Structure 1
Amino acid sequence: MDTKKVWFVTGASKGLGLSLVKRLLNEGYQVAATSRTVESLEKEIGKSANFLPLEVNVTDETSVSSAIAKTVEVFGTIDVVVNNAGYGQLGTLEELSDSEARENFDTNVFGLLNVMRNVMPHLRNKKSGHIINISSIAGFLGAFPGWGIYNATKFAVAGLTEAFSAEAKSLGIKATIVYPGYFKTNFLLKGSLRLAENPIAEYKEARDLEVIHDTQIIGNQPGDPEKAALAFIQLAENENPPLHFFMGSDSFGMAKNKIDILLSELSAHEALSKSTDY
């Protein structure tokens, strides 16, 4: 009896989402994949009986609800949800307009929430499922000048997923936050990464980091998207998957460094911390 899981993957026409969907199909899984156009998915992936390409705007709850209903209609169920849709917004906190900041939150946070809200009735009814939310190492370590709003969206993804994990535990539903480091995808290219519409030259650190990304990091990312796809599958097949998963040696190293700093600061200021109790 074939017990392969049915996957629902958002933001699947490029990047880690595309690599994951291709690998899943090669492994014989049934996959519903979303993008803003079906054409972009079919161009990259082609057509097969196990593949359901869906045109979805994650910020539109009706669009999301229809896609989930269509997936259940075609494949009978959904077992694994990967919330991968999102984009990077560069710009210091002063530079970015209210609309630029809110648009990034609309996609990266509220779009993800739309998917979770609409898939949960199905997962609750069957008392099983696994939601994998893609954060970023920038959702754990925020010290990247010019990335503040993007960081904030990814910290929000981590925070809401932690809460969801506690809420859904007795329902038999698992949750994992994935914090990728730099992977050799198109994330740092135009279309996936937006610059501030009105940059302010005085922000030297932010401008310098933009140059570093453009001249040193693009093309030299240590992460292999094909190996990331295999890691996603291993997470989903794990009976006890981690709540927090740092993907990539760079992500792992940056997370460990932050944890070491936190432990040091906790120890150094323990007396002051505890001095505020009655």
Structure 2
Amino acid sequence: MSDKKTWFVTGASSGLGLSLVKQLLAEGQNVVATTRNKKGLEKVIGDVSHFLPLEMNLSDESSVNSALNDALSRFGAIDVVVNNAGFGQTGTLEELDDEEVRKCFDVNVFGMLNVIRHVMPHLRNQKSGHIINISSMAGIQGRIPGWGVYCAAKFAVAGLSEALYEEVKPFGIKVTLVYPGHMRTGFLSKGSLMLPSNPVSDYVLIRKNEEEATEQMNGMQIGDPEKAATKLIKITHIEKPPLHYFLGEDVYDAARKKIQSLGDALDTWKEDSLSIGF
């Protein structure tokens, strides 16, 4: 890589985040990696001069602000922000209580907003930067029974990223919204995937889907996080990086089906849609 940048990566202790951190460090990039377990991350990465691991609570604005200030004190700038931290939550909309729903949004949505809110003054001041927000296949299609709240959170990530793209364009800041498909990471493992605390027995199909996800699909996902990490690095070297970026054959197919579904609805109900004007 010809230019050295400072990357700020959340959710860096496993999966796509860890793959990205390792590749960046191998290429000599400055990396600030945030996690809930700094010692575990230090053990995996080792002692690297251009590496700054930090413990950060995404739900705590003071913790986020402190981590960003530490990053700036160490490296003097932040060039690329990767909002990767998140976790999965299964359960029907009826089953999940208010605490479970809010926790899902606190990490997947509001935590991301905390990072964006506190890094933007720096990026505006330097009039450059690239914010990469990691959504999901669940952020392009919601017809996944038992994943409604997670889909809602990832749809929110998509919506805020599109708005952010337009808001920061005048400052020379780029935004990319990434939709990974099923990646062979620990996402479906205990600790990353939360099950409903008060399941309703009538939802037999949902329980079957959860079992298939945790016991059969886990470890068999078709997406390679190493290849995905390489693609994320690639788009930071493009003059006009994409706003929407799909990673995986499964999410590519899902997006095509969603587009077809929207097109069918527009065509079928066109007369109604165009009939309500004054």
SS in structure 1 opposite 2:158? helix
Partner residue of 2:21? 21
Larger deviation, residues 116-125 vs 2-11: 2-11
Residue 204 of structure 2: aligned partner? 204
Give the total of aligned pairs. Answer: 278
State the TM-score, normalized to the length of structure 2.
Answer: 0.98
Distance in 2 between the 1:240 and 1:212 partners? 40
- Please state if 1:33 is matched with 2:33: yes
User: Matched residues in 1 for 2:195 and 2:236: separation?
Assistant: 34
Structure 2: gaps of 5 or more residues: none
Q: Secondary structure of 2:236's partner?
A: helix
CA distance in structure 2 between the partners assigned to 1:261 and 1:253 by the alignment: 12
Structure 2 counterpart of 1:217: 217
Give the aligned partner of residue 64 of structure 2.
Answer: 64
5 Å-filtered alignment, 1:177-256, equals 177-256=177-256
- The 3-state SS of whatever aligns with 1:237 is coil
In structure 2, how many angstroms separate the alpha carbons of the residues matched to 1:237 and 1:101?
37
Q: Does 1:277 align with 2:262?
A: no
Correspondences of 1:112-123 after superposition (within 5 Å): 112-123=112-123
Matched residue type, 1:59: S
Taking the TM superposition and a 5 Å limit, the aligned residue runs for 1:69-88 are 69-88=69-88
Distance (whole Å) between structure 2 residues aligned to residue 103 and residue 215 of structure 1 = 24
Separation of aligned partners in 2, 1:57 and 1:214: 26
Structure 1 range deviating more: 122-131 or 231-240: 231-240
1:12 aligns with 2:12: yes
Deviations 1:20-39 (A, max 9, x none): 00011011111000001210
**Counterpart check, 1:261 vs 2:261:** yes
AA matched with 1:121? P
The residue type equivalent to 2:216 in the other structure is Q
Q: How far apart, in 1, do the equivalents of 2:6 and 2:183 lie? A: 25
1:28-177 → structure 2 map (5 Å cutoff) = 28-177=28-177
Q: How far 1:2 sits from its partner (Å)?
A: 6.2
Structure 1 portions without partners, runs of 5+: none
Name the SS of the counterpart of 1:12 in structure 2. coil
- Output the TM-score relative to the length of structure 1: 0.98
Distance in 1 of aligned mates of 2:224 and 2:39: 26
| CA distance in 1 between partners of 2:241 and 2:87 (Å) | 26
Report deviation, 1:213. Answer: 1.1
Return the alpha-carbon distance in structure 2 between the equivalents of residues 47 and 94 of structure 1.
47
Deviations 1:14-64 (A, max 9, x none): 111001000110111110000012102102211211100001001111111
Seq. identity, %:
57
Q: Give me the whole-angstrom Cα distance separating, in 1, the residues matched to 2:117 and 2:104.
A: 19
Distance of 2:146 and 2:156 partners within structure 1: 17
Distance, in Å, in 2 between the alignment partners of 1:95 and 1:264 is 32
Distance 2:16 2:122 in 1: 26
Report the RMSD for the aligned CA atoms in angstroms.
1.2
> How far does residue 205 in structure 1 lie from its aligned partner after superposition?
3.0
Aligned-residue offset at 1:76 = 1.1
- Give the 3-state SS of the residue equivalent to 1:82 in structure 2: strand
Counterpart amino acid of residue 266 in structure 1: L
Give, in angstroms, the shift of residue 190 of structure 1. Answer: 0.4
